[in-house]
Amino acid sequence: MKSLRITNTITAIIFLLIIFSIFSYIMYNNQKQMLSADIDTFLYATSLSVADSINILLEENKIDVSEFNQRINQYFQRIIKSWISINGIEDPKLLNMLVQIYDRKGIIIATSRQGPKMIMKISPEEFKILASGTNYTGTFDIDTSNKKTLSLRYISIPVMNQNKKIVYIIRVALSLRTMTFSMYNLKIVLFILIPFTIILSGILGFFLTGFTLSPVNKIIVSINEITAINLKKRLNVSEYNDELKILASTFNDMIERLDNSFQSQKHLIENLYHELKTPLSIIRGEIEITLNKKRDADTYKNVLLSNIEEIDRITRILENLLLISRFESKLEVTDFGKVDIIKIVSEIAERFKIVCDPRSIILTMNSCPKAIIKGDEKQIKSMIVNLIDNAVKYNIDRGSINIFISSENGKITITIKNTGIGIPEETIDYIFDRYYRAIKSSGTKGAGLGLNIVKTVVDIHKGNITVRSVVNNWTEFEVVLPEA
């Protein structure tokens, strides 16, 4: 149990770490791209705004382009202050911004603040791109005095005349410190805090699972105390008020069924011992008596006939057990076909007349002209044999057995009514249970298997069976099956 908890916890943690790592990686890069795009957009808009301010200044003061280089410094700081005032001084981006003006040769002529030499000049490669009328965007990595790196994002745009020649160049740069700090914090959250939270949650989940499963461990201990010789022990359902109560109740029901099954097997063995012991003892005794001295032919014949009867009885018991076993293991293959009920019942009734004659039991049969069902002939024969055998077994000497077969409304009804000891009303609901015998008198032979087989066959053929009885008078079994 513990190893399973550990395995499941580790698996869940690893799975979540992988999922969230992928999610964090995608989110981090997406956020970085969005912030970079936002800065580039801001720089581009700022550079255009500065260019517009310079152009307005040139027009208002009627400054010729040829005088631009000499007079731009005179007005540049005023332009920057005016532009910041218009756009809002509260924006921290504007305060961390660097604005530079270059002449048509790429030489710096004005700057909003001094900076490292590397950002004060335009490289030949950058100037070549700008001369073609294309904006240039780049990043400077500057080493500061405290041995840290400061990154600046910048954009350079050329201001062209009508002849597509550069008049001047505007470069606007912005520190990426805020963005770097934000991305660093995001990285801490995504790649440290979230994994730590997942691992901590997994550990807490491990202990919480152990706490939750403690009642299950208690159930396991109780289950281990239940053995084949201690099937009467049950789990205490009252200790639980949730799904475990359902589990405990289900387990108790299962143990109840197992106990019943063990008891049934025990009864079966006991019944088989008595049922097989009697006919075998009879056979052995008759043979021993016959062998004690020489007998006439009729005596030998009677002994052999008696032995055959006892052997038939043993055979029926074993056949019933085999059939029940095949039903339970689902090895019994049902071969459905057209079955002539009248023919089958007539043949079986004729065989049973031999058994009825010594006890002066009158067996009669009345039927409709035709009764055909769709079923398994072997199983139907077993059903009829057990019903008639039951009628003979629990009959009285000089009693009667009446068999009726009728067909009505697409149903075939087989009714077997016999005189005899009858079945107590309180036991009728149990007579189809395996190994159950309503009448447990010493003079009545049986293992309690026949009626269980009858009920199973009826159910397989989608029929129904009813029982009516009057104690010490008569019993009637009525089987209704669908007509073919």
Q: Which domains does the chain have, with CATH numbers?
A: 2-185 (3.30.450.20), 227-332 (1.10.287.130), 335-482 (3.30.565.10)
Secondary structure class of 78 (helix, strand, coil): helix
Confidence band for 108, pLDDT divided at 50, 70 and 90: confident
The two tokens of residue 262 are 């063990």
User: 394-429 burial, b if ≥16 CB within 10 A, otherwise e?
Assistant: bbeeebbbbbbbebeeeebbbbbbbbbbbbeeeeee
d(CA 410, CA 483): 5
* Pick from 121, 166, 168, 157: nearest CA to 140: 121
Q: Across residues 174-181, what is the average pLDDT?
A: 86
Q: Kindly state the DSSP code that residue 225 receives in the 8-state scheme.
A: T
Highest mean pLDDT among 239-253, 257-271, 318-332: 239-253
Q: Is 349 left (phi over 0), alpha (psi -120 to 50) or beta?
A: alpha
Crossing angle for the helix pair 450-460 and 297-328, nearest 10 degrees? 50
Q: Across residues 418-432, what is the average pLDDT?
A: 89
What is the per-residue pLDDT across 202-242, written as a single tens digit (0 to 9) for each? 888 888 887 777 777 777 777 787 777 777 777 777 777 77
- 81 pLDDT higher than 80: no
The two tokens of residue 130 are 């700008």
Mean pLDDT value across the chain: 81
d(CA 412, CA 12): 63
d(CA 411, CA 313): 33
Q: Kindly state the DSSP code that residue 162 receives in the 8-state scheme.
A: T
DSSP string, 233-276: ----GGG--SHHHHHHHHHHHHHHHHHHHHHHHHHHHHHHHHHH
Q: Across residues 359-388, what is the average pLDDT?
A: 91
d(CA 169, CA 51): 9
Task: State the CB neighbour count (10 A cutoff) for residue 168.
Answer: 19
Whether pTM > 0.85 for this model: the answer is no
Q: Where are the alpha helices (DSSP H) in 151-242?
A: 177-188, 194-224
Contacts of 460 (CB under 8 A, 6+ apart): 334, 376, 379
d(CA 34, CA 131): 29
d(CA 230, CA 224): 11
Quote the Cα angle for 410-416-420, to 5°.
160
